[in-house]
Amino acid sequence: MLPVYLRVLLVLGAVAALALVGRKVKKEKILVEDAVFWVVLAAIFVLLALFPGIAISLAYALGFMSASNFVYLAIIVLLLWKVFSNSAEISRLKSKVNELTQEIALSQHEKDER
């Protein structure tokens, strides 16, 4: 059985996450397309808290000692994946900023020559 405190934690976390994401979207601090990840994650938390059977049966099917181990591991894997995809996104953004900087400098130089 998923410990009660973990279930409460999950629901609290999900509610807090939803509130935070909602506020940022409202204040135009995050694009809706980027907020989707966090909303879905929060929804999964709520689902797991309300129906602990999902986590328990999955955990035992995969051979985990306890359901909480499984939940922690799943979240860690998910976050690692998210951090990596952020890293890739930053690479792309860096490359775009560099390209723009180069093009601004080159076209300014061309204008000055004329």
String of contacts with another protein for each residue 55-94, x by CB under 8 A: ----------------------------------------
* Residue 104 found at the interface with another protein (CB under 8 A): yes
Q: Residue 86 or residue 102: which is nearer to another protein going by CB? A: 102
Backbone angles phi, psi at 30, to 5 degrees: -145, 140
Q: Residue 31 or residue 104: which is nearer to another protein going by CB? A: 104
Phi-psi region of 28 (alpha: psi -120 to 50; beta: other; left: phi over 0): left
Quick one: which of 19, 25, 24, 26 has its CA closest to 46?
Answer: 19
- Integer-rounded Cα radius of gyration of the chain: 22
Contacts to another protein by CB under 8 A: 95, 97-98, 101-102, 104-106, 108-109
